[in-house]
Copies of this chain bind each other. A is one copy, B any other.
Amino acid sequence: MRVAVLTAPGHVRVEDRPDPAIVEPTDAIIRLSATCICGSDLWPYRGIDSLDEPRPMGHEYAGIVEAVGGEVRSVRPGQFVVGSFFASDNTCEICRAGYQSSCVHRQGVGGAQGQYMRVPLADGTLVATPDVPADDLVPSYLAASDVLGTGWFAAVAAQAGPGKSVAVVGDGAVGLLGVLAARQLGAERIIAMSRHASRQKLALEFGATDIVTERGDEGVARIKDLTDGLGAHSVIEAVGTQESMMQAIRSTRPGGHVGYVGVTHGVELPGVELFFSHVHLHGGPAPVRRFLPELMDLIAGRQIDPGRVFDLELPLDQAAEGYRAMDERRAIKVLLQP
């Protein structure tokens, strides 16, 4: 099969590799209907995360079950399924509490930017649709696998809801889908922080009520201007840098909630400032599996259209161009057709 491999920072090559096979009786093999490039893939692409050897890339997936191991009960060949970037048993106490991405049997998945992939712990990881969906819904289901689930978790962690003001730090796909989630959760005011016209436009279409173009201290001051001088009730952090984390914490009112999902890089939170900020802080790798049934229902009913974050679609063989487009911020998010 063909799969996108990061061979060195800045170098993505689509290679032939052996098709994956069932290894454990709890595995499933999926034929990908669509796959995509994640903002977090840019960390190793940019050489910020280390790369010991060529790495098959991708952890977002939606597709048709090709085969299942002997112990798999909840999905069967021919079904269309979506899964999360962490495989989970969905039965342990941590999973039952809604933290499947910290499942005691958690396993990473990889190589999703390919034609086929192996998903461990299929019963606890995959969610099937009742029928194979229409082609035009596939991008939205694919988004549910990570960026939608992650933006949704951020909004839930930030306790976005009726009567709440929500600020969103980060205008990547996750931030934009944080806007969509906040709207779905009933937030009254949703402030997207972005200085890119195409992203501002999508934020407004997803439900943002205000756009703030300033960053850092000026951005914080603008958020306070818009929230009676107090800061937002709920702030979504979807970048992961020191600057974005501090911007999020400082944009939140005392007693408010920060939901942070940007994979943190080089972040050190100053204890004294956090202490006196009085914010609630919660985040981490999104337990997408918790939200998948609900999100897939919303997509099936065409109540949300998260697939609109894909503003560039390429054949898998052009994955390298997809990485370049995202690295240069020419594209919000790139869908790859296997």
Q: Would you call A215 an interface residue if the criterion is a C-beta within 8 Å of the partner chain's C-beta atoms? A: no
Cβ of A266: which chain B residues have Cβ within 8 Å of it? Answer: 271
Q: How many copies does the complex hold?
A: 2
Task: Please state if B278 and A102 are interface contacts (CB–CB under 8 Å).
Answer: yes
Query: Which residues, 268 to 308 on A, are CB-close (under 8 Å) to B?
Result: 268-272, 274-285
Cβ of A240: which chain B residues have Cβ within 8 Å of it? Answer: 271
Q: Mark A229-241, 1 if CB is under 8 A from B, else 0.
A: 1100000000010
For the complex, what is the distance from the CA of A196 to the CA of B334, rounded to whole Å?
59
Cβ of A219: which chain B residues have Cβ within 8 Å of it? Answer: none
Cβ of A245: which chain B residues have Cβ within 8 Å of it? Answer: 271
Q: Would you call A99 an interface residue if the criterion is a C-beta within 8 Å of the partner chain's C-beta atoms? A: yes
Cβ of A98: which chain B residues have Cβ within 8 Å of it? Answer: 255
Q: Mark A83-125, 1 if CB is under 8 A from B, else 0.
A: 0000000000110011101101000000000000000000000
For the complex, what is the distance from the CA of A278 to the CA of B290, rounded to whole Å?
14
Contact flag A275-B270 (CB < 8 Å), given A99-B255, A102-B254: no
Pick from B94, B101, B277: contact of A284, CB below 8 A. B277
Task: Please state if A281 and B281 are interface contacts (CB–CB under 8 Å).
Answer: yes
Pick from B228, B253, B255, B283: contact of A275, CB below 8 A. B283
For the complex, what is the distance from the CA of A253 to the CA of B265, rounded to whole Å?
23
For the complex, what is the distance from the CA of A270 to the CA of B94, rounded to whole Å?
23
Q: Would you call A51 an interface residue if the criterion is a C-beta within 8 Å of the partner chain's C-beta atoms? A: no
Tell me which of A245, A255, A264 has the highest count of chain B C-beta atoms within 10 A of its own C-beta. Answer: A255
Task: Please state if A284 and B275 are interface contacts (CB–CB under 8 Å).
Answer: yes
Cβ of A265: which chain B residues have Cβ within 8 Å of it? Answer: 271-272
Minimum C-beta distance from A201 to chain B (A): 30
Minimum C-beta distance from A54 to chain B (A): 24
Q: List 27 A-B contacts (CB under 8 A).
A: A93-B230, A94-B255, A97-B253, A98-B255, A99-B278, A102-B254, A102-B278, A104-B230, A263-B275, A264-B272, A264-B274, A265-B271, A265-B272, A267-B271, A267-B272, A267-B275, A268-B268, A268-B271, A269-B274, A275-B284, A275-B285, A276-B284, A277-B284, A278-B285, A280-B280, A281-B281, A281-B282
Apart from A98-B255, A264-B271, A268-B268, 12 more pairs, CB < 8 Å = A94-B254, A99-B255, A101-B278, A102-B278, A242-B271, A267-B271, A268-B269, A269-B274, A275-B283, A276-B285, A280-B280, A280-B281
CB-based closest 5 A-B pairs: A267-B271, A102-B254, A264-B271, A99-B255, A269-B269
